[in-house]
Amino acid sequence: MAQDKTKELLERGRAMYLPVYAQREMILDHGKGARLWDIAGNEYIDLGAGIAVSVLGHQNAELIQVAIEQMQKLWHTSNVYFTEPAIRLASDLVKNTFAERVFFSNSGAEANEAAIKLARKFASFHSSSEKHEIITFEGSFHGRTLTTVTATAQPKYQEGFGPLPGGFTYCPFNDFDAIEQQISDKTCAVLVEPIQGEGGVHVAKPGFLAHLQALCQKHDALLVFDEIQSGMGRTGRLFAYEWEDNIQPDIVTVAKALGGGLPIGSMLTTERVSQVMKVGDHGSTFGGNPVITAVAGAVLQQVCSSVLMDNVKKQSDQLQMGLKELQQQKKLFKEIRGKGLIVGAELQEPWEGKAAQLSELCRQHGVLILQAGPNVLRFLPPLNITDEELQEGLQRMKSALSRV
Ligand SMILES: Cc1ncc(COP(=O)(O)O)c(C=O)c1O
């Protein structure tokens, strides 16, 4: 019965959805903590958290309570009006980060879009429209709108969508000399992920962000960090860039984890940079919706707690240890890398290019993992994953992968 229903729903979904996703052979139904169940009753350990979103796991009691209380009061107002949850979230973001001003969007791409518009406006206001170039990095991922996919320096995401917006140039990631050659007085911003997520879990080399900062200062360009995947506690600090000393970004974008599973993004910036924007220059109907900002406020509070950050460190060590044990048995990986609970395991021959098959095998053994391109298995578990959930997940993964 359940099998038939799964099959029927998959067929219907596949017949009607725009065919841009490769949905797995199950229909998820409910979750609790780091566990998920499908409609056929199969249980999975969730080591992907909906691509770094469900940071506090599924059915988090506090988030449910906050959401229900706000839903019983007010769902939506538009940005013609303020609401208290949105103002509280803005205050908490300002209190806990470098930021003095925030803009709320519904997604990561929109947060980056706001950052790109702000950088262009800032340059045209203080210099001229000639100063419009934005440098991003090979292997980056910044979103799927036409402009953010142009910022995304991976041709596979851009093919067939031209003409693309102009003014973007690409530089090799972690190449100190190349960026020095490329940046100029025409550069208005350098946009970078401190840890490239979709591009294969590549961490910025020590000193790379400081190098970018110095070059941006020299050329009067804004330093923009895309922390949509790496931020909100994923590395054990609120933002991944905070692992490097004395870094002062001009703009940081966040999304994914901020809503704990509800859609929200935010662009954070300084008073100085924000002042070029005036009423009507940018906006969003839903951005900063009261229900989501109430929930995001509760997420941020937990992410700022040392208890959660200590768990990230502890579980990161356990995850890395589990992957190393698997490596000793099977020699699957060329490299295991990452920081905190964003971890990538790059496959080596004969498994190169088989990340999709291996993650499907894991799913069949009751553990959900992600891939980052064809060669990298990616792990982004909930930040509050327990010892027991993680060990169970690792066990299932070992039993799946020991068969290959
Ligand atoms: C670093 C980074 N930036 C931007 C985005 C786009 O976010 P969204 O899918 O919410 O638009 C993503 C999504 O994976 C991301 O990882």
Query: 197: CA distance to ligand 1 center in Å?
Result: 9
Residue nearest to atom 16 of ligand 1 (CA): 229
Q: Which pTM value belongs to this model? A: 0.98
CB within 8 Å of 166: residues ≥ 6 apart: none
Residue 130 in tokens = 């000639």
Q: Which CATH class is domain 74-303?
A: alpha beta
Query: 40: CA distance to ligand 1 center in Å?
Result: 31
CB within 8 Å of 85: residues ≥ 6 apart: 70, 290, 291, 293, 294, 297
Would you say 149 and 159 are in contact if contact means Cβ atoms under 8 Å apart? no
Residue nearest to atom 4 of ligand 1 (CA): 142
**Alpha helix positions (H), 276-384:** 290-303, 306-330, 355-364
- Strand order of the β-sheet with 168-171 is 101-105, 265-269, 251-254, 222-226, 187-192, 133-137, 168-171
Note the pLDDT of residue 183. Answer: 98
Q: Which of 103, 137, 141, 168 is an active site residue?
A: 141
Q: Which of 131, 256, 339, 398 is an active site residue?
A: 256
User: pLDDT, tens digit, for every residue of 53-103?
Assistant: 999 999 999 999 999 999 999 999 999 999 999 999 999 999 999 999 999
User: pLDDT, tens digit, for every residue of 9-29?
Assistant: 999 999 999 999 999 999 999
Pocket of ligand 1 (CB under 6 A): 51, 107-109, 112, 141-143, 193, 197-198, 226, 228-229, 255
Note the pLDDT of residue 57. Answer: 98
CATH number of 2-59+308-401, picked from 3.40.1010.10, 3.90.1150.10, 3.30.450.20, 1.20.1440.230:
3.90.1150.10
Supply the mean pLDDT for the chain. Answer: 97
Q: What is the DSSP letter of 260?
A: B
- Examine the pLDDT at 404 and tell me if it is beyond 90: no
Please report, for the chain, the start and end positions of each structural domain, with discontinuous segments joined by +.
2-59+308-401, 74-303
**Residue 256 designated active-site:** yes
Residue whose structure tokens are 């950052």: 115
Note the pLDDT of residue 27. Answer: 98
User: pLDDT, tens digit, for every residue of 318-376?
Assistant: 999 999 999 999 999 999 999 999 999 999 999 999 999 999 999 999 999 999 999 99
